[in-house]
Copies of this chain bind each other. A is one copy, B any other.
Amino acid sequence: MYLCVKMMHMDTRPLLLLTNDDGYNAPGLLALMEALKPIGDLLVVAPDGGRSGMSAAITVSQPLELRLVSESEGVTVYKSNGTPVDCVKLALGQLCKERAPDALFSGINHGTNASVAIHYSGTLGAVIEACLNRIPAAGFSLDDHDHQADFSPSLPYIQQIATRVLERGLPFGTCLNVNVPKCSALKGVRICRQTKGRWIEEFDQRKHPKGGNYYWLTGNFHNDEPESTDTDMTAMREGYISVVPSQIDMTAYDLIPVLNDWF
Contact = CB atoms under 8 A, between A and B. Distances in A.
B119 A63 contact: no
Contact of A1 (B50, B198, B254): B254
B252 A250 contact: no
Contact of A251 (B89, B193, B206, B248): B193
- Chain A contact residues, majority secondary structure: mixed
Interface stretch (A69-77, A90-98, A147-155): A90-98
Contacts of A54: 55, 57
A57 B120 contact: yes
Interface in A242-263: 243-256, 258-260, 262-263
B53 A215 contact: no
Contacts of A252: 171, 173-174, 245-247
A231 to B, nearest CB: 10
A260 B89 CA distance: 31
A244 B86 CA distance: 26
B263 A58 contact: no
Interface stretch (A25-33, A34-42, A99-107, A125-133): A125-133
A213 B94 CA distance: 11
A59 interface: yes
A59 B243 CA distance: 27
A76 to B, nearest CB: 17
A263 B178 CA distance: 14
A188 B59 contact: no
B259 A202 contact: no
A194 B259 CA distance: 15
A214 B170 CA distance: 33
Contact of A56 (B52, B56, B133, B249): B56
A137 to B, nearest CB: 13
A164 B262 contact: yes
Those 7 A-B pairs whose CB atoms lie nearest each other, nearest first = A245-B255, A55-B55, A247-B252, A93-B201, A245-B252, A55-B56, A63-B214
